[in-house]
C-alpha cells in the first residue's frame, strides 16, 4: 500500500492517474498536481471508481514542491511534467526523502539537447540518501530498454545489433499535430540524427537516413533514423552492441509542415521581440497547434513500437523482434487519452508498481534496463500493453 504524487496533468499524466487508480491494492492514495489545477480536477473527475486528490504546483519551484511533498507525504513522485522540470523535482525528492520516477530525460530550456549526464550526476546523492530514481520509464525511453534487456536475457548470449522501431500508424484527421507536447516533440525531431557504430557515435543530418520498414498490422512505413535518449544508456549497459539505432515513422505531409515551420523560423527557441514582448517562436507555435490531449476523440489506427535485435545464441547468428501494437481508440475509450500518451503512461505506472512492490530496488539513479525485466514483462500485458516476439525472421536491415 503506497501513496503516489503524480506531477503533470497532460495526456501522459491523465493515463498515469487512470492506471494507478485501477490498482488500489498498490496505489492506496493518489495526488495529481500540476501548474494548472483545473486540468488536474478535470482528470480527477474522469476517474469514476476512485477519488484522487489534486493540487497546484510550479514544478520549477523547489520550495513549493517540498511543501507539497511534505504535506501529502508520498512514497514516490511520478514526474510526467516536462523534461525541463526533472532536476527541480529530483532536488525536492532528495530534500524530502522520497523516491522518483520519470519518462523523459532532462533538457535545458535554452538548448535543444537531451542527455543523461545531468541526471546521472545525481547518482551519489540518491545513493547516500538510500533513495531510488528511475529514469525514462515510458515507452521509448522505457519499454524499449526493458524489451532489449528481456531479449538479451532470454533469447541471446550476446546482442550485437539493436534497432528500436517506432511507428505511429494512426490518423487523427488533423493536417498537422504532434502526439505529445509540441514544443518538446519539435525540438526532438528537428535535431541531427545520431547512432552508435563500432564504439563511436555517427552523426547524420535530420531525417537524412530513411528505410521502408514493415510494421505488424500496419504495413510498410517510411522510417527515419533519429537520435533518441535511450541509446545513450543502452550502449553503456550492453557493451556487446556493435550498432544501436532508433527509427521513427513520419508521413510526407508531416515532414512538409515541419520543413515549413523550420524555414519560417517558428521552430526556433531563440527569444524574439514581438510588440515589445519577448516570445520564443516555438512556444508561441505550441499555443496555435492542436493540444495533444484533444486528439483522442477521432483517432483511428494503432501505434507499433518494438526492438529488432541481431546477435548470437549458442555460437549461431540469431534475430528476434519484440513489439507492442496499441489502438488509439481503445486507449481513448479506457482513459480519454490517445495511444501515444497511453503507451507512455502504462509503463510509468508499472515501473512505479515494480518499485513499490519490491520487485525493483536499489539506491541510486537507474535506467530501466538495469532492473530485472521479467516481473515488468509479466505485468505490462495485463495492464494494457501486451507484447509479442518473433524469432529468426528477416529484420529488414542490411548490416
In the complex, least distance from residue 154 CB atom to ligand NDP, rounded to whole angstroms: 23
Q: Are 118 and 104 in contact (CB under 8 A)?
A: no
Q: Specify the residue, 105 or 319, whose C-beta has the smaller distance to ligand NDP.
A: 105
Binding site for ligand NDP (CB under 6 A): 8-13, 34-36, 39, 57-60, 80-83, 85, 103-104, 138-142, 180-181, 184, 292-293, 340-341, 344
Q: How far is the CB of 65 from ligand NDP (least distance, A)?
A: 9
Task: Pick the closer one to ligand NDP by CB: 319 or 324.
Answer: 324
- By C-beta, is 11 or 301 nearer to ligand NDP? 11
Residue 229 CB: number of other CB atoms within 10 A?
Answer: 22
* Nearest CB to ligand NDP, comparing residues 82 and 319: 82
232 phi/psi in degrees, rounded to 5: -60, -45
Q: Please state the closest distance from residue 183 (CB atom) to ligand NDP, in A.
A: 8
**CB of residue 55 vs ligand NDP: minimum separation in angstroms?**
10
If the CB atoms of residues 142 and 364 are measured against ligand NDP, the closer one turns out to be 142
Instruction: Write the CB contacts of 42 (distance below 8 Å, at least 6 apart in sequence).
Output: 9
* Cα(53)–Cα(167) distance, integer angstroms: 35
What residue number has its CB nearest to ligand NDP? 10
Smallest distance from ligand NDP to CB 291, Å: 7
Give whichever of 72 and 180 is closer to ligand NDP, judged by the CB atom: 180
Smallest distance, Å, CB 62 to ligand NDP?
Answer: 11
Contact 44, 54 (CB under 8 A): yes
CB of 272 to ligand NDP, least distance (A): 22
Decide: 44 and 51 in contact? Cβ < 8 Å: yes
Question: Which is closer to ligand NDP, CB of 74 or CB of 311?
Answer: 74
Q: Is the peptide bond before 69 cis (omega within 30 degrees of 0)?
A: no
Amino acid at each position: 500500500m503506497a501513496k503516489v504524487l503524480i506531477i503533470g496533468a497532460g495526456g501522459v499524466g491523465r493515463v498515469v492517474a487512470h492506471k494507478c487508480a485501477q490498482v488500489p491494492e498498490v496505489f492506496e492514495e493518489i495526488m495529481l498536481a500540476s501548474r494548472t489545477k483545473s486540468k488536474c480536477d478535470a482528470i480527477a473527475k474522469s476517474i469514476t471508481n476512485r477519488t484522487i486528490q489534486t493540487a497546484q504546483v510550479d514544478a520549477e519551484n523547489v520550495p513549493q514542491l517540498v511543501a507539497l511533498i511534505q504535506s501529502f507525504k508520498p512514497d514516490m513522485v511520478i514526474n510526467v511534467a516536462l523534461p525541463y522540470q526533472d532536476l527541480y523535482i529530483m532536488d525536492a525528492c532528495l530534500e524530502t526523502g522520497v523516491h522518483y520516477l520519470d519518462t523523459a530525460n532532462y533538457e535545458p530550456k535554452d538548448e535543444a539537447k537531451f542527455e543523461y549526464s545531468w541526471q546521472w550526476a545525481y547518482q551519489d546523492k540518491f545513493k547516500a540518501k538510500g533513495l531510488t530514481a528511475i529514469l525514462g520509464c515510458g515507452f521509448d525511453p522505457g519499454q524499449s530498454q526493458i524489451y532489449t534487456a528481456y531479449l538479451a536475457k532470454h533469447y541471446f548470449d550476446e546482442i550485437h545489433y539493436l534497432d528500436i522501431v517506432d511507428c505511429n500508424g494512426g490518423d487523427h484527421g488533423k493536417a498537422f499535430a504532434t502526439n505529445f507536447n509540441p514544443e518538446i516533440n519539435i525540438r526532438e525531431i528537428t535535431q541531427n540524427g545520431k547512432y552508435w557504430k563500432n564504439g563511436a557515435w555517427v552523426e547524420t543530418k535530420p531525417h537524412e537516413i530513411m528505410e521502408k520498414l514493415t510494421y505488424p498490422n500496419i504495413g510498410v512505413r517510411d522510417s527515419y533514423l533519429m537520435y533518441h535518449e535511450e541509446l545513450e544508456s543502452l550502449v553503456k549497459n550492453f557493451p556487446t552492441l556493435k550498432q544501436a539505432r532508433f527509427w521513427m515513422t513520419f508521413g510526407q505531409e508531416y515532414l512538409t509542415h515541419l520543413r515549413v515551420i523550420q524555414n519560417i523560423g517558428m521552430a526556433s527557441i531563440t527569444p524574439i521581440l514581438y510588440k515589445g514582448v519577448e516570445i520564443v517562436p516555438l512556444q508561441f507555435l505550441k499555443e496555435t497547434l492542436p493540444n495533444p490531449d484533444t486528439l483522442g476523440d477521432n483517432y483511428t489506427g494503432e501505434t507499433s513500437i518494438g526492438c529488432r535485435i541481431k546477435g548470437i545464441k549458442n555460437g549461431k547468428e540469431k534475430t528476434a523482434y519484440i513489439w507492442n501494437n496499441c489502438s488509439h481508440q481503445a486507449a481513448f475509450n479506457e482513459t480519454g487519452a490517445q495511444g501515444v500518451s497511453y503507451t507512455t503512461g502504462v509503463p510509468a505506472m508499472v515501473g512505479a508498481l515494480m518499485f513499490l512492490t519490491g520487485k525493483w530496488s536499489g539506491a541510486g539513479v537507474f535506467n530501466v534496463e538495469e532492473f530485472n525485466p521479467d516481473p515488468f514483462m509479466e505485468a505490462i500485458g495485463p495492464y494494457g500493453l501486451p507484447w509479442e516476439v518473433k524469432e529468426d525472421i528477416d529484420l529488414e536491415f542490411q548490416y
